Amino acid sequence: MNIDEAARLRAEYEARGLVEGDMATEPFSEFQTWLSGVVAADIEEPTAFVLATADGSGRPSSRALLMKAFSEEGIVFYTNLASRKSEELRMNPAAAATFVWIPLHRQVRFEGQVVAVDAVDADAYFAGRPRGAQVAAHASAQSSVVSSRAELEERYAELELAFGDGEVPRPTTWGGWRLLPSAVEFWQGRVNRLHDRVRYRQDGDMWIKERLAP
């Protein structure tokens, strides 16, 4: 991590705070600006976020993931389609994602509906993954109970031998999800815990900016 750059940016961000009129008219451009600052500070895993889902009865669960694509269509992440998170997203296609960049005293929260990424995009992303990760996607039935680490490694070795030097196809149980936000909140730490919170709320084709109390 570039500690000096992170400290400089944090001090600058805290001093300036968030002013609604200085922020983009929609959340996607604003998020891109924030993400660029995170990258400039060389913070480890700048695209890491925590995804919260809930099952059909409303019981929540959360886990850390990496964002693999971002646009005005939302946040994209990839996973095993038979995993707990995927099962919950099919039962209850709504989720929340939180990016936290502690060295900059910043976070961004997304909330909205979730849809599956189409097969063409999933194939393209899978083809660009490291070969080891491709084989592992076949070897691991994510979220299922396994007897031991040795069982996983044995399965991996068998598949590695079976695929040889050939192409590793995308498993039918592996794909992506896209979070389509209807609300995005930007949080900036300030002195005396009087933090800045600005939320973009979707209203038809428009985004409304509103300040929230800390």
Catalytic residue among 10, 155, 193, 197: 193
In this structure, is residue 135 part of a structural domain?
no
Pairing of strands 74-80, 69-71: antiparallel
Per residue in 98-156, pLDDT (tens digit) is 999 999 999 999 999 999 999 999 999 999 999 999 999 999 988 889 999 999 999 99
Buried-exposed string 49-64: b where 16+ CB fall within 10 A, e elsewhere: bebbbbeeeeeeeeee
Domain assignment of residue 83, yes or no: yes
Q: Does pTM surpass 0.85?
A: yes
pLDDT of residue 15: 85
Residue 165 inside a domain? The answer is: no
The answer as to whether 100 is a domain residue is yes
Lowest mean pLDDT among 8-17, 89-98, 132-141, 187-196: 8-17
Q: Mean pLDDT over residues 2-6, rounded?
A: 86
Q: Is residue 105 part of a domain?
A: yes
Write out pLDDT tens, residues 150-179.
Answer: 999 999 999 999 999 999 999 999 999 999
Residue 132 forms part of a structural domain: no
Q: Is residue 15, in this structure, part of any structural domain at all?
A: yes
Residue 30 has pLDDT above 90, yes or no: yes
Q: Rounded to an integer, what distance in angstroms lies between the CA atom of residue 184 and that of residue 108? A: 7
The CATH number covering residue 49 comes to 2.30.110.10
Nearest in space to 179 (alpha carbons), one of 120, 117, 129: 117
Domain contains 160: no
Question: DSSP 3-state assignment of 173?
Answer: coil
What is the number of structural domains in the chain? 1
Residues spanned by the domain of 179: 3-115+175-212
Is 197 tagged catalytic? no
